[in-house]
């Protein structure tokens, strides 16, 4: 700036702070004169003076000037703090123009490409990343400049993955640029990929296990029928020739074959829950309960059980599996009732986006420390001499509800009875 033509003007000492690729300083010059005029003021401004004051303007102008200087100093401090934050950030930060050239970059961004900040400044996106990645990033950046809206997206190349935030720059002279903030998420992505592969392997293993259970159960049916049939034939044809011990042994064999058949049938049903389930359709649960009641009419009649219910809603589900679910719960309520006729009540109420059903009984109850155990396959809390069963029924209920994105739990008091609660989403579950 030249001030030598101004009256009584000169610069005694002037030092400009050092600047770098990310810092730009605007140095203010203020002219204070006692002999100036409007012509002098115009010439001073043309020469680069920021402010021009005459002494006679008084203290008010000086106070205003002091406030402006304080504001400028505070702004400089804020900018410096921001620069330090950017420089020390582990995230990759840069400012890029509409042509895809780096205007400014922090150390982390430069280090990611193995160069210094000075070397990276001025280079193009196409110089440092694959063309397809550069084209997409530049396209997003230009959209950010045009719309003034922030964009977030993920991309990756050469085994590295990034979460990107592109922000419009709203500063005078810099509106044709956008700021890039990129975070390396390679570790997270690798963990997600590994988890996905593990889940796929687990699903494949489960599918193979279900197929094995189905094939094994199916193939065991025929030899089991032969054992049972021939033992009964032996008993009928040679009954008079068999002593009491022999007849007892045959009864043991037939009883064992029948229990094995029951277990195989339950295992078959369990293995088919996912692979051979029906479609999810709007289903009247009162009709579901009536089907379960009809299937259990003999057990209900023999035990003099009373089965009541509140009004039940319509939900989207696999009807045949819901019949199986209620049939298992009602059957258990009948089986595990020692004193007096079984009393069973089914109710339902809406809770947000799901329906909560309950099946209450007056049975023997379940100890608190065994309430989770009852839902595990082949889990039995009582010996076969006390109560018959295979230990698959409640596990099957759990699996049916898993398929419907529902849940099941039990509340119980020993000697007072149990209430099983299960939930079904109102819009249906995972029909796959």
- Residue 86, pLDDT score: 62
Residues 199 and 81 in one domain: no
Residue 27 has pLDDT above 80, yes or no: no
pLDDT-derived band at 63, boundaries 50, 70, 90: low
Query: In this model, does residue 420 exceed pLDDT 90?
Result: yes
pLDDT at 339: 77
- The percent of residues above 70 in pLDDT, for the chain, comes to 73
Distance CA 225, CA 254 (A): 10
pLDDT classification of 427: cutoffs 50, 70, 90:
confident
pTM: 0.50
Contact 132, 124 (CB under 8 A): no
pLDDT at residue 49 in the model: 65
The residue from 276, 294, 324 where one domain ends is: 276
Task: Give yes or no: residues 199 and 143 share one domain.
Answer: no
Tell whether 316 and 410 lie within a shared domain. yes
What mean pLDDT value characterizes the chain?
A: 80
Mean pLDDT of 234-260: 83
- For 23, the domain range is 1-87
Q: What is the pLDDT of residue 288?
A: 96
pLDDT above 70 for 357: yes
From 6-10, 140-144, 165-169, 362-366, the region with the lowest mean pLDDT? 6-10
Model confidence at 268, pLDDT cuts 50, 70, 90, reads: confident
Instruction: Give the ranges where 3-58 is alpha helix by DSSP (H).
Output: 38-47
Q: What is the arithmetic mean of pLDDT over 269-287? A: 84
Q: Domain end: 242, 276, 310, which one?
A: 276
* Residue 371 confidence (pLDDT) above 70: yes
- HEC-encoded secondary structure of the chain: CCCCCCCCCCCCCCCCCCCCCCCCCCCCCEEEECCCCHHHHHHHHHHCCCEEEEHHHCHHHHHHHHHHHHHHHHHHHHHHHHHHHHHHCCCEEEEEECCCEEEEECHHHHHHCCCCHHHHCCCEHHHHCCHHHHHHHHHHHHHHHHHCCCEEEEEEECCEEEEEEEEECCCCCCCCEEEEEEEECHHHHHHHHHHHHHHHHHHHHHHHHHHHHHHHHHHHHHHHHHHHHHHHHHHHHCHHHCCHHHHHHHHHHHHHHHHHHHHHHHHHHHHHHHHCCCCCEEEEHHHHHHHHHHHCHHHHHHHCCEEEECCCCEEEECHHHHHHHHHHHHHHHHHCCCCCCCEEEEEEEEECCEEEEEEECCCCCCCHHHCCHHHCCCCCCCCCCCCCCCCCHHHHHHHHHHHCCCEEEEEEECCCEEEEEEEEECCCCCCC
Q: Is the pLDDT score of 2 beyond 60? A: no
Residues 22-41 have a mean pLDDT of 60
Average pLDDT (197-211) is: 82
Q: Are residues 54 and 107 in the same domain?
A: no
Looking up residue 111, the CATH number of its domain turns out to be 3.30.450.20
Model confidence at 202, in pLDDT bands (50, 70, 90)? confident
Same domain, yes or no, for 309 and 425? yes
For the cut 60, the answer to whether the pLDDT of residue 315 exceeds it is yes
Average pLDDT over residues 297-325: 93
pLDDT of 21 > 60? The answer is: no
Residues 265 and 289 in one domain: no
Task: Give yes or no: residues 145 and 267 share one domain.
Answer: no
Cα–Cα–Cα angle for 144, 148, 153, rounded to 5 degrees: 40
Give the model's pLDDT for residue 77. Answer: 58
Task: Give the pLDDT band of residue 68 (cuts 50, 70, 90).
Answer: low
CB atoms within 10 A of CB 140: 18
Q: Are residues 349 and 408 in the same domain?
A: yes
The reply to whether 30 and 125 lie within a common domain is no
Query: Is the pLDDT confidence value at 4 over 70?
Result: no
Q: Tell me which of 276, 307, 338 is where a domain ends.
A: 276
Rounded mean pLDDT of 393-422? 91
The count of domains in the chain is 4
Kindly indicate the confidence band of residue 34, based on its pLDDT and cuts at 50, 70 and 90. Answer: low
Q: Same structural domain for residues 57 and 104?
A: no
Segment among 26-35, 288-297, 354-363 with least mean pLDDT: 26-35
> Is residue 282 domain-shared with residue 409, that is, in the same domain?
yes
Each residue's pLDDT tens digit, 112-157: 899 998 899 999 999 999 999 999 999 999 999 999 999 999 999 8
Digit-coded pLDDT (tens) for 335-349: 888 778 999 999 999
pLDDT above 70 (res 56):
no
Q: Residue 180: pLDDT above 70?
A: yes
């Amino acid at each position: 700036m030249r001030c030598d033509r101004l009256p009584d003007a000169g610069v005694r000492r002037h030092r400009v702070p050092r600047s770098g690729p990310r810092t730009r300083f605007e140095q203010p010059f203020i002219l204070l004169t006692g002999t100036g005029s409007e012509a002098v003021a115009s010439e001073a401004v043309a020469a680069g003076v920021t402010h021009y004051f005459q002494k006679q303007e008084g203290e008010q102008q000086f106070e205003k000037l002091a406030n402006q200087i304080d504001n400028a100093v505070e702004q400089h401090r804020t900018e410096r703090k921001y620069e330090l934050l950017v420089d020390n950030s582990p995230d990759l930060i840069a400012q890029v123009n509409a042509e895809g050239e780096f205007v400014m970059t922090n150390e982390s961004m430069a280090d990611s490409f193995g160069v210094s900040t000075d070397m990276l400044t001025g280079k193009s996106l196409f110089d440092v990343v694959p063309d397809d990645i550069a084209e997409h990033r530049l396209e997003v950046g230009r959209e950010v400049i045009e719309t003034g809206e922030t964009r977030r997206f993920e991309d990756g190349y050469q085994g590295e993955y990034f979460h990107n935030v592109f922000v419009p720059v709203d500063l005078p002279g810099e509106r044709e640029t956008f700021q890039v903030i990129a975070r390396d998420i390679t570790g997270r992505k690798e963990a997600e990929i590994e988890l996905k592969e593990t889940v796929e392997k687990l699903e494949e293993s489960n599918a193979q296990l279900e197929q094995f259970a189905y094939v094994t159960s199916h193939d065991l049916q025929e030899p089991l029928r032969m054992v049972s049939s021939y033992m009964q034939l032996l008993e009928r044809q040679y009954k008079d020739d068999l002593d009491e011990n022999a007849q007892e042994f045959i009864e043991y064999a037939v009883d064992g074959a029948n229990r094995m058949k029951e277990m195989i049938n339950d295992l078959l049903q369990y293995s088919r829950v996912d692979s051979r389930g029906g479609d999810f359709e709007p289903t009247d649960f009162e009709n579901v309960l009536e089907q379960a009641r009809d299937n259990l009419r003999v057990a209900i009649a023999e035990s003099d059980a009373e089965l009541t219910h509140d009004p039940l809603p319509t939900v989207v589900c696999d009807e045949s599996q819901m019949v199986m679910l209620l049939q298992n719960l009602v059957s258990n309520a009948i089986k595990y009732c020692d004193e007096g006729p079984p009393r069973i009540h089914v109710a339902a109420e809406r809770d947000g986006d799901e329906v909560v059903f309950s099946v209450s009984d007056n049975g023997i109850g379940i100890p608190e420390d065994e309430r989770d155990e009852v839902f595990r396959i082949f889990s039995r809390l009582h010996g076969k001499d006390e109560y018959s069963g295979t230990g698959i029924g409640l596990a099957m209920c759990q699996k049916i509800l898993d398929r419907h994105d529902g849940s099941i739990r039990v509340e119980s008091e020993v000697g007072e009875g149990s209430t099983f609660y299960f939930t079904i989403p109102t819009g249906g579950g995972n029909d796959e």
